[in-house]
Amino acid sequence: MQQSPPKFSISDLNLWYGTSQALKDITVDIEERSVTALIGPSGCGKSTFLRTLNRLNDLISSVRVEGSVLYEGADIYAPDTDVIDLRKRVGMVFQKPNPFPMSLYDNIAYGPRVHGIRDKATLDDIVERSLVQAALFDEVKDRLQTSALGLSGGQQQRLCIARVLAVEPDVVLMDEPTSALDPISTAKIENLLEELKKQYTIVIVTHNMQQAGRVSDKTAYFFLGELVEYAGTKELFFNPRDKRTENYISGRFG
Amino acid sequence: MMRIQFNEELNRLHHDILAMGSRVEEDLRKALLALRTGDIELVKEVKASDQIVNAMQMKIEDQAAMLIATQQPVAKDLRQLVTMFKVTDNLERIGDHAVHLAKTVKRLSGDPYPRPLDRLERMAAIDVAMVHDAVASFLDQDEALARSTAAKDDEVDTEHKAFVQEVLAFLAENPGKAQLATKLIATSSYLERLGDHVTNLCEAVVFMLTGAHTELND
């Protein structure tokens, strides 16, 4: 099998919140059409790192970034980067489901409409395709015009995934997407990841070590802003190279 | 905090494996003594003890499986638990061979071998030491000890081959003693197999410590 070029190529990435350094010399490649898990204790920099991939940290005024983040070979921190387009291509799903207070249909059509799609038939297609991809369509197809807030937590989270997929992204970033969900909803989303990675590149932050083990192809362990170990998930969970990784995943931390 | 309970359970399992290993080692010593003295009481003891060894194996395996299910160990913790299955499995087989050795005493009682059983005794003595060191290498997480213990299997193999030659020579001189010769060679084979089980156990220990599968003796 021919090795594709990495989706993201990050070199010597440093990030500060004011004077406090949150990421230190991160150099890593993220492979396309795979699931990469980011693990580490709270405050280790994993969510900050995730947000550097679509420049969500820009929204925090004190943030300073050095180093380069190449997305398909182009530095997304270059001055001429179209950040709106970047975030369309690199979508994000958050920890708590955050549907808009509107119908299921309008939640999903929101993004495409912002990007200028008005045709009803086209929007219908997008809504259905996105819900199917997010493994939600069958459960909600008869209530697309009802409020999204009436869905269960697990359904809301899959709706948020469908909303991201509706704008046809290339990469989906997920920040602890199942931490607020019960085991059945979690399993549905984990199964979904297996499907989604055939088409998308997925980077997921998780505090659930078993989840990282189950869903990801590669795992990165962050500690105190450093990338301690980055390896195939099976290898990292069975025979980690670094003692700090071993301690963390075995629960010997702290 | 998960670690505290996990460590307690792990310590208990180590203790149980030590107990199982000690019992198997003791059974092997008794079988060796029975071979030397012809004491039938010892043979009975070894057979009874094997039942306890089997029960110990099941208890350890159930407990290790429970720990995997409830604590979801990873990395070295997981390798250690997986290794326990191999350790107990091999100890159980070694226990069976101790019984075979003990039974030899009965088998030979009606038709004794008119020569010294030095080589069988030497093999059994090496086996006893190997079992002891193999279990110690697991408990102490001592890779060097696991490797050096497995290396001793060569000595067992050498004794086995020499003993087979010796018995064949005896058979050539005493053609009517084919049944006795077969029994002797079978017993020697058990002791040789026993060394292989210790080698397997040592390989499991190296796997536990390094994460790599190794062949310690070809």
Check pLDDT > 90 for residue A251: no
Q: Kindly state the average pLDDT of the residues A219-245.
A: 95
The per-residue pLDDT for A2 is: 57
The per-residue pLDDT for B1 is: 46
Q: With an 8 Å Cβ cutoff, are B75 and A251 in contact? A: no
Q: How far is A96 from chain B (nearest CA, A)?
A: 26
Tell me how far apart the alpha carbons of residues B140 and B131 are, in angstroms, rounded to a whole number.
Answer: 14
CATH number for B2-210 (one of 3.30.450.20, 1.20.58.220, 1.10.1040.10, 1.10.3370.10): it is: 1.20.58.220
Residue B6 contacts A where some CB pair is shorter than 8 Å: yes
Check pLDDT > 70 for residue A11: yes
Q: How does residue B123 score in pLDDT terms, banded at 50, 70 and 90?
A: very high
Check pLDDT > 60 for residue A243: yes
Q: How far is B135 from chain A (nearest CA, A)?
A: 23
Tell me how far apart the alpha carbons of residues A173 and A189 are, in angstroms, rounded to a whole number.
Answer: 14
Q: How does residue B108 score in pLDDT terms, banded at 50, 70 and 90?
A: confident
Q: Kindly state the average pLDDT of the residues A8-37.
A: 97
Fill in the amino acid letter for A90.
Answer: V
Evaluate the CA torsion angle A245, A249, A251, A254 in order and state its sign: positive
Q: How does residue B217 score in pLDDT terms, banded at 50, 70 and 90?
A: confident
Please give the helix or strand (H or E) that residue A221 lies within, else none.
strand A218-223
Check pLDDT > 80 for residue A150: yes
Q: Kindly state the average pLDDT of the residues B143-161.
A: 96
Tell me how far apart the alpha carbons of residues B75 and A240 are, in angstroms, rounded to a whole number.
Answer: 7
The per-residue pLDDT for B2 is: 61
Q: With an 8 Å Cβ cutoff, are A250 and B79 in contact? A: no
Tell me how far apart the alpha carbons of residues B97 and B198 are, in angstroms, rounded to a whole number.
Answer: 12
Q: With an 8 Å Cβ cutoff, are A239 and B2 in contact? A: no
Q: DSSP assignment, residue A143?
A: -
Q: How far is B201 from chain A (nearest CA, A)?
A: 20
User: Tokens in use for B167?
Assistant: 């018995």
State yes or no: ipTM above 0.90.
Answer: no
Q: Kindly state the average pLDDT of the residues A61-74.
A: 95
Share of chain B above pLDDT 70, in %: 99
- A contact test, residue of B3, B74, B83 with most A CBs within 10 A: B74
Q: With an 8 Å Cβ cutoff, are A239 and B74 in contact? A: no
The per-residue pLDDT for A236 is: 95
Mean pLDDT (chain A, rounded): 94
CA distances from A185 to A25, A178, A192, B73, B186 (A): 36, 8, 11, 24, 60
Fill in the amino acid letter for A208.
Answer: N
Q: With an 8 Å Cβ cutoff, are B76 and A246 in contact? A: yes
B186 CB-side CA count, 13 A: 15
List the one residue out of B42, B153, B169 whose CA is nearest residue B101: B42
Contact A108, A131 (CB under 8 A): yes
User: Tokens in use for B177?
Assistant: 């003693």
- B contact test, residue of A228, A234, A252 with most B CBs within 10 A: A252
Dihedral, A179, A180, A186, A189 alpha carbons, nearest 10: -90
Q: Kindly state the average pLDDT of the residues B125-134.
A: 96
- B contact test, residue of A228, A234, A236, A238 with most B CBs within 10 A: A238
Closest-CA residue of B relative to A235 is B75
Tell me how far apart the alpha carbons of residues B135 and B28 are, in angstroms, rounded to a whole number.
Answer: 14
60-89 of B, contacting A, C-beta below 8 A: 72-79
Check pLDDT > 90 for residue B111: no
3-state secondary structure of A222: strand
Evaluate the CA torsion angle B168, B173, B175, B180 in order and state its sign: negative
Cβ contacts of A246 on chain B, cutoff 8 Å: 75-76
Q: Which domains are present in chain A?
A: 8-249 (3.40.50.300)
Sketch the domain layout of chain B as residue ranges: 2-210
The per-residue pLDDT for B70 is: 86
Contact A202, A193 (CB under 8 A): yes
Tell me how far apart the alpha carbons of residues B104 and B121 are, in angstroms, rounded to a whole number.
Answer: 12
Check pLDDT > 90 for residue B198: yes
Check pLDDT > 80 for residue B149: yes
The per-residue pLDDT for A180 is: 85
Q: With an 8 Å Cβ cutoff, are A213 and B74 in contact? A: yes
Check pLDDT > 70 for residue B74: yes
Closest-CA residue of A relative to B2 is A251
User: Tokens in use for A208?
Assistant: 């659930």
Q: How does residue B37 score in pLDDT terms, banded at 50, 70 and 90?
A: confident
Give the closest of A239, A249, A250 to B211, CB-based: A239
The per-residue pLDDT for B3 is: 81
Question: Which residue pairs from B207-214 have beta carbons closer than 8 angstroms and sit at least 24 positions apart in sequence?
Answer: B207/B79, B207/B83, B208/B76, B208/B79, B208/B80, B208/B82, B208/B83, B208/B138, B208/B141, B209/B141, B209/B143, B209/B146, B210/A239, B210/B143, B211/A238, B211/A239, B211/B79
Check pLDDT > 60 for residue A175: yes
Check pLDDT > 70 for residue A253: no
List the one residue out of A153, A137, A23 whose CA is nearest residue A98: A153
3-state secondary structure of A160: helix
Q: How far is B78 from chain A (nearest CA, A)?
A: 7
Dihedral, B62, B68, B71, B76 alpha carbons, nearest 10: 130
Chain A: residues touching B (Cβ < 8 Å): 209-210, 213, 237-240, 245-246, 249-252
Give the closest of B1, B6, B211 to A238, CB-based: B211
